Structure 1
Amino acid sequence: MVQLKNKKKQLLSFVLFFLITTLIYGCNIRKQPPKCDVFLNEKPQDRFRYDDTTPIAYDKLTRISWYRCNAGQVFQDGECVGEALELNWTEAQSYAREFSASSGKNWRLPEYWQMRELQRFDCISPAIDTRAFPAVKISHYWSRDEHIFSERMSCSVYTFKGQGFCWQRKTAELPFMLVSDENAERIKFLGRVQRVLIDFFN
């Protein structure tokens, strides 16, 4: 009888230990990463080349030059001034061409993989280096890639965590970034496969 009670106590202790451990572990899994604008304050920045006098951030990893502000904004004294434009996909493409003509430099909407390459996995909200891009919004951002199965859809990236979405209607009005990418690294085969899979399942 005493042995039976001891076994019940041991079993109960084990069950309680298991439940508490599972609860703690589950909470850790669901814990959100820190916000990038706070998290990156103490982190070294060695990927992008820029300073507070220039509106361009050069990505040494992909050899892409990025306009540091949202399209429609002006870079002044280290800050992005003005309102970010939110246009449909066709209008955004037209704006990039007009911006190129007025600036004398070839600017375009970024390709889908170029937007995804900006994603950080150690922080969120937005999941992007906010030191290089100080005015990025929490929003879907256009890429210049169309959906491979539908001409009415295009790909966007949601900056909160950097997820891709390739069923975005072209009529939606979204903010967008600009790149000058003549010298960019070309997307590798695995990157193309990844994009096809995202197109198919998103």
Structure 2
Amino acid sequence: MLKKIVGALLCTLCSANAMAAFQSCYQDIPGSAPDIRFKENGTGTVTDLQTNLVWRRCLLGTRWDQQTQTCEGTPEAYSWKKALFQIDLNEKGAVIDGVSGWRMPNIKELASLREVACLAPAVNLKAFPGLIRTEDEQWAMTATVWSSTPHAQSQTILTFGISDGTVVHYGYQDFEFGVLLVSDNAQ
């Protein structure tokens, strides 16, 4: 009987937030991106109160679902140049939560999102609950996102790993990764 109760409780907890089930956090390391640092703006954005930047909560190719409070759809993977073109053509002027001026973040802005106490993903789940929704997505190419920052000594671009918080550089034509957008137009 006890096994059935414990099993039912575990199923309920896992289905309530499957993402939290595989995010691993160290309790003895102070968090670098606590919940109080982010203000939810309504329909798909959060404001980082530390940097005053507004972030989209979903990767390009997905959209925020207000009812489920997560991202719906399949994230798109882009080469760096195609991502810049897509942003300029379709995203820069889009208005979400009264915010426009969307752009690709630089590597310092992306790295500021890193939650040093957690992995898989290494970002705040309350602010970004839908960036990685399944265990398979944490290893997808879209779990790495492009920055606008070129590497100083090569013709590569710095990227940010949402799953592990790593910063790595890749050839701008050789790989296709995800895109997370930011705006300086905080309300």
Q: TM-score, normalised by structure 2?
A: 0.69
- Residue correspondence of structure 1 range 1-202 to structure 2 within 5 A: 37=23, 45-50=35-40, 53-77=42-66, 78-97=69-88, 98-103=90-95, 105-137=100-132, 138=138, 139-151=143-155, 153-166=156-169, 168-171=170-173, 172-182=175-185
SS for the counterpart of 2:119 is coil
Which has more strand, going by share of residues? 2
Structure 2: gaps spanning 5 or more residues: 1-19, 133-137
Q: How far apart, in 1, do the equivalents of 2:182 and 2:148 lie?
A: 11
SS in 2 for 1:142: strand
Please tell me the residue identity of whatever aligns with 1:154: I
Deviation at residue 65 of structure 1 after TM alignment: 0.2
Answer whether contact 2:24 2:118 (CA < 8 A) is retained.
no
Q: Distance in 2 between matches of 1:101 and 1:159?
A: 26
* Matched AA of 1:69: C
Q: Which residue of 1 is the match for residue 8 of structure 2?
A: none
For residues 4-53 of structure 1, what are the alpha-carbon distances to aligned partners after superposition, in whole Å with 9 as ceiling and x for unaligned? xxxxxxxxxxxxxxxxxxxxxxxxxxxxxx9774759xx972000005x4
Q: 2:86 is paired with a residue of what secondary structure?
A: helix
In 2: Cα distance, 1:93 partner to 1:35 partner: 34
**CA shift for structure 1 position 127:** 0.6
Q: Secondary structure at the match of 2:36?
A: coil
Aligned length: 145
Deviation of residue 69 (structure 1)?
0.5
Shift, 1:90, TM fit:
0.6
**What is the rounded CA distance, in whole Å, between the counterparts of 2:145 and 2:35 in structure 1?**
24
Larger helix proportion of the pair: 1
| Cα distance change of structure 1 residues 124 and 114 upon mapping to structure 2, 3 Å threshold | same
Alpha-carbon spacing, 1:156–1:35, altered in 2? closer, same or farther (3 Å) = farther
Q: Show structure 1 runs of 5+ residues with no match.
A: 1-33, 184-202
Separation in 2 of the partners of 1:165 and 1:55? 27
Secondary structure of the equivalent of 1:115?
A: helix
Q: The residue matched to 1:91 in structure 2 has which SS?
A: helix
Report percent identity of matched pairs: 23
Question: CA shift at 1:154, angstroms?
Answer: 0.3
CA–CA separation in structure 2 for the residues paired with 1:36 and 1:48 = 22
Aligned equivalents of 2:128, 2:54: Cα separation in 1: 12
